[in-house]
Amino acid sequence: MPKSFTRRGFLLGAGAASAAILTSRRGFSLEPAGVSIDASQEVGLIRPELHGQFAEHLGSCIYGGLWVGKDSPIPNIDGYRKQAVEYLKGLVPVLRWPGGCFADDGVGPAAKRPRTVNVHWGNNTEDNSFGTNEFIGLCRLIEAEPYLSANVGSGTPEEMRDWMEYCNYPKGSSLSDLRAANGAPEPFNVKYWGVGNENWGCGGQMNGDEYATLYRRFSNYARPFSETRPFLVACGPSGNNQDWTRKFWGNMGTRRAVQGFAMHFYSRGANFSTKFSPAEMQQQFSSFPDIEKAILEQRALLDTYDPQKQVGLLLDEWGVWDRMVPEEQTQYGRLFQQITMRSAVAAALGLNVIHRQAGKLVMTNIAQIVNVLHSMLLTDGPQCVRTTTYYVYQMTKAHLSQTSIAVAVEKPEPVGLSVSASRRGGELTLTLVNPKPDAGMTVNCSLAGASARSATARILHDADLNAANTFATPDRIAPRDHQIAVEGARIVTDLPPLSVLTAAVRLV
Ligand code: AHR
């Protein structure tokens, strides 16, 4: 039994949910919160791709993070950090690479291995020892689907089509033979191809109309080089910029060489990651209703050009982007930030939005997987720490391939209780997030369209919003079992302040 709630305290909270505000043994108040879940109202499939990740050549995400090199004293599997591979295996359905803005530096076929300057992220040189073959090797090791992002801003249609041929053509052409000579006789069969990145910004400073003209040229040569038909992703807006979407689709007309349209939406932070005040945290969390609104409005706008819904909406960069600590960036690379309890709550608020809007999205990719922004893992020499983001993805993995079902919070607040639920057959998965730093909640869920038989729950919680799994305290925050009660149409649990809970509910 968790220390914070006695059985008696828990039941008291549940029974009196509509009446009083109770106080837990730890001293914080327990506000009653009502949720309704309708297991018969299906929202859409939570595709595995909705829990995608992003690996960019930025800071120490690749070099020194995922890739330590074959001769490293750090335990590795053919150059890949062994601990990272073990932690990530099975947790990353799809992995986007190599950028981001780095996509517009052009990586090219692996055999060339030029020393290039990463102009977007510090002008440092890269030896390209981690190229296409190594990326695909990583994807195979961690069981992720690759998603390649091609260079449009400073690249050519020829480079992109050659990259596709290199990856996907089975054998017999110079490029497919080059792949084989580089150790990969079998085609990579890469399905997901981004046609540029942020072409409204680092990818060329264009407007949607200019980009659409370029997109038509690039996509014209992006043919299927194997049985794997490419799923071409066009650059979508920054946040909810509707002008970009209108200009792009206004130019594209009814041409259908677009399978995906990818928006980016970051949640900016006003302070260094471990120095947030409750007010700064609240301000960052208030971006999540905006993200949900942006998904709904962008999908609705897309529907006016694509009434058959043949084009999928992606959110292929999202996550918290706090103020950077200069010394940390010097030591660990650009855009390195510590991942805290606040970051975990933010990840879970984002995933709840994504689950609730599963019917409107085909892929999302949090930025980035290691050592950059909203990471799963942080590394320092041989050390590899699982962050709170890692645990949120681990806990919520059960939603994948389940059907999202309708949920409603009785008294919604912009930064209040957040819920998502999904089901497959007799299994229901429920994620509850309490983003408040000073108030616990007794959550009373009423279930329609199904009846619950039993439930178990895991919780991620720390009372300190700035607490983190650091290199000195790598295991401070990890999921624990938590008490939850079910009784037919009712599921009840207490949430301490700043907590993420996922319940596995068995239905009758
Ligand atoms: O994630 C960091 C950067 O943010 C990416 O390179 C770019 O696409 C975005 O602006």
Closest residue by Cα to atom 5, ligand 1, is 100
| Å from CA of 264 to ligand 1 middle | 9
- Residue 446 in contact with residue 490, Cβ under 8 Å? yes
| Å from CA of 268 to ligand 1 middle | 13
Query: What is the predicted pLDDT for the residue at 11?
Result: 35
- Residue 19 in contact with residue 397, Cβ under 8 Å? no
Identify which of 97, 118, 121, 264 to mutate to test ligand 1's pocket (most ligand atoms within 8 A of the CB): 264
Among candidates 380, 378, 266, which has minimal Cα distance to 323? 266
What is the secondary structure of 39-60 as a DSSP string?
EEEEEEE--GGGGEEE--SSTT
Ligand 1 atom closest to 197 (CA): 8
Closest residue by Cα to atom 3, ligand 1, is 100
Is 198 catalytic? The answer is yes
pLDDT digits (tens, 9 = 90+) for 19-57: 457 777 677 889 999 999 999 999 999 999 999 999 999
| Å from CA of 17 to ligand 1 middle | 44
Is 186 catalytic? The answer is no
Q: Which of 317, 410, 413, 427 is catalytic?
A: 317
Ligand 1 pocket list (CB less than 6 A): 56, 99-101, 197-198, 202, 317, 367, 373
| Å from CA of 235 to ligand 1 middle | 13
| Å from CA of 478 to ligand 1 middle | 29
What count of other Cβ atoms lies within 10 Å of the Cβ of residue 413?
12
Residue with tokens 């609730």: 356
- Please give the DSSP secondary-structure letter assigned to residue 488: B
The Cα 361–Cα 365 span in angstroms is 11
Closest residue by Cα to atom 8, ligand 1, is 100
Dihedral pair phi/psi, residue 195, rounded to 5°? -95, 80
Query: How far does the chain reach from its first CA to its final CA, in angstroms?
Result: 25
Q: Which of 31, 49, 145, 198 is catalytic?
A: 198
For 65, the token pair is: 């993070």
pLDDT digits (tens, 9 = 90+) for 373-422: 999 999 999 999 999 999 999 999 999 999 999 999 999 999 999 999 99
The Cα 450–Cα 430 span in angstroms is 14
Among candidates 45, 26, 42, 154, which has minimal Cα distance to 99? 154
- Alpha carbon 77 to its chain centroid, in Å, reads 25
Ligand 1 atom closest to 101 (CA): 6
Query: What is the predicted pLDDT for the residue at 9?
Result: 34
Peptide bond into 100 cis (omega under 30): yes
Residue type, 136: I
Domains of the chain are: 7-45+405-507 (2.60.40.1180), 48-400 (3.20.20.80)
- Alpha carbon 379 to its chain centroid, in Å, reads 19
Ligand 1 atom closest to 201 (CA): 10
For 80, the token pair is: 């890949």
- Residue 417 in contact with residue 30, Cβ under 8 Å? no
Largest CA-CA distance found in the chain, in angstroms, rounded: 74
SS3 406: strand
Specify the pairing of strand 485-487 against strand 490-495.
antiparallel
Query: What is the predicted pLDDT for the residue at 119?
Result: 83
Q: How many residues does the chain have?
A: 508
* pTM of structure: 0.94
Peptide bond into 394 cis (omega under 30): no
What count of other Cβ atoms lies within 10 Å of the Cβ of residue 18?
9
SS3 474: coil
Among candidates 65, 46, 58, which has minimal Cα distance to 97? 58
Among candidates 166, 218, 164, which has minimal Cα distance to 191? 164
Closest residue by Cα to atom 7, ligand 1, is 100
Residue with tokens 């979508």: 236
| Å from CA of 95 to ligand 1 middle | 15
pLDDT digits (tens, 9 = 90+) for 170-224: 999 999 999 999 999 999 999 999 999 999 999 999 999 999 999 999 999 999 9
The Cα 139–Cα 130 span in angstroms is 13
Query: What is the predicted pLDDT for the residue at 295?
Result: 98
Residues 6+ away with beta carbon under 8 Å from 206:
199, 200, 214
Residue type, 503: A
- Element housing 242 (H / E): helix 242-252
Ligand 1 atom closest to 373 (CA): 1
- Alpha carbon 437 to its chain centroid, in Å, reads 24
The Cα 442–Cα 503 span in angstroms is 15
* The dihedral sign for the CA sequence 71, 77, 78, 81: negative
Residues of the chain with pLDDT under 70: 1-20, 25, 104-112, 255
The Cα 320–Cα 13 span in angstroms is 33
Residue type, 508: V
Closest residue by Cα to atom 6, ligand 1, is 100
- Residue 398 in contact with residue 112, Cβ under 8 Å? no
